[in-house]
């Protein structure tokens, strides 16, 4: 049986699905990966020097400026057929849990209900002092001041507002990690898409599912350490493979579901 046919059969028969995504699913929308984000104004920096609590303590304006620039970049791009196919899976299997390592909001904008953000989000800043969530105005323009932008102060405790992402050396948000592990251990099918499967503890999630007896299906143009965990490896881009998988898993519904149609 062709791999995609086998994968579509597994997906179409599944009652509990987890979709686990990484940078690769957003690559086709033009979101630079973490390391590629250090381009243009930022090419002389390295991620290790910007994405740490220490960096924010030493140079909050530099770190905040980098994240504002990234938030702006994300706001200029759109979800692609891969994100929309994930939302289509959710509409076919309503108990589907989407778990992403991405800090962009493209799953939400494609129609995914409540993706679990294991590494936080560019759109969920909070006070570095008291932890209060802070609503930000849309990032409509590149920061005028170039690289350095002073972070806002918390209205409650006057602490500096920090990006709501997980930095090197920080723990993953406990509730997100627990929800992800719970979903992975209870699913029939876990689809791992566009992730190298090398960054822990997130990379445990597909392994938890496999150990619990779920069928793991991987979508990635390249070989990854997840190849040996996956029952089916679909080599190719998320934007091409995922819509095809949805169409094959639910052939009757595909034409009626605009979310499943590539555009």
From the annotation, which residues make up the binding site? 67, 70, 101-104, 127, 130, 154, 157, 194-196, 220-222, 238
Residue 236's CB is within 10 A of a number of other CB atoms, namely 13
DSSP string, 175-215: HHHHHHHHHHHH-SEEEEES--S-STTTTHHHHHHHHTTPE
Question: Measured at the alpha carbon of residue 177, what is the angle toward residues 175 and 181, in degrees to the nearest 5?
Answer: 115
- Are the C-beta atoms of residues 13 and 93 closer than 8 Å to each other? no
Interface residue with ligand APR among 112, 121, 192, 195 (CB under 6 A) is: 195
Q: State which residue, 129 or 221, has the beta carbon closest to ligand APR.
A: 221
Asked if 119 is an active-site residue, the reply is yes
- Using the rule CB under 6 A, is 77 a contact of ligand APR? no
Give min distance, CB of 34 to ligand APR, in A: 4
Q: Would strands 116-117 and 97-100 be described as parallel, antiparallel, or unpaired?
A: parallel
- Using the rule CB under 6 A, is 221 a contact of ligand APR? yes
**Residue number, nearest CB to ligand APR:** 24
- Using the rule CB under 6 A, is 108 a contact of ligand APR? no
Question: Measured at the alpha carbon of residue 21, what is the angle toward residues 183 and 122, in degrees to the nearest 5?
Answer: 105
Q: What is the helix (H) or strand (E) element at residue 218, kind and residue range?
A: strand 215-219
Q: State which residue, 154 or 234, has the beta carbon closest to ligand APR.
A: 234
Interface residue with ligand APR among 9, 12, 33, 253 (CB under 6 A) is: 33
Query: Which active-site residues does the annotation give?
Result: 119
Binding site for ligand APR (CB under 6 A): 22-24, 27-28, 33-34, 101, 119, 194-196, 199, 219-222, 224, 237-238
């Amino acid at each position: 049986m062709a791999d995609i046919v086998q994968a579509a059969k597994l997906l179409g028969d599944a009652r509990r699905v987890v979709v686990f995504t990484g940078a690769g699913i957003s690559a086709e929308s033009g979101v630079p990966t973490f390391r590629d984000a250090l381009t243009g104004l930022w090419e002389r920096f390295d991620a290790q020097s910007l994405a740490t609590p220490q960096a924010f303590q030493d140079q909050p304006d530099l770190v905040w400026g980098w994240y504002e620039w990234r938030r702006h970049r994300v706001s200029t791009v759109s979800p692609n057929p891969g994100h929309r196919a994930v939302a289509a899976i959710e509409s076919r299997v309503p108990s589907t849990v989407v778990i992403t390592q991405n800090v962009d909001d493209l799953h939400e904008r494609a129609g995914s209900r409540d993706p679990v953000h294991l590494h936080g989000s560019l759109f969920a800043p909070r006070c570095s002092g008291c932890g209060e969530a802070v609503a930000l105005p849309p990032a409509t323009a590149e920061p005028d001041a170039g690289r350095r932008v002073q972070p806002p102060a918390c209205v409650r405790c006057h602490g500096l507002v920090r990006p709501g992402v997980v930095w090197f050396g920080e723990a993953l948000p406990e509730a997100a990690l627990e929800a992800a592990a719970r979903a992975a251990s209870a699913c029939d099918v876990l689809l791992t898409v566009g992730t190298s499967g090398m960054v822990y503890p997130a990379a445990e999630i597909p392994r938890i599912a496999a150990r619990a007896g779920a069928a793991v299906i991987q979508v990635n143009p390249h070989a990854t350490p997840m190849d040996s965990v996956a029952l089916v490896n679909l080599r190719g881009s998320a934007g091409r493979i995922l819509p095809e998988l949805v169409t094959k898993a639910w052939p009757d519904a595909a034409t009626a579901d605009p979310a499943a149609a590539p555009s």
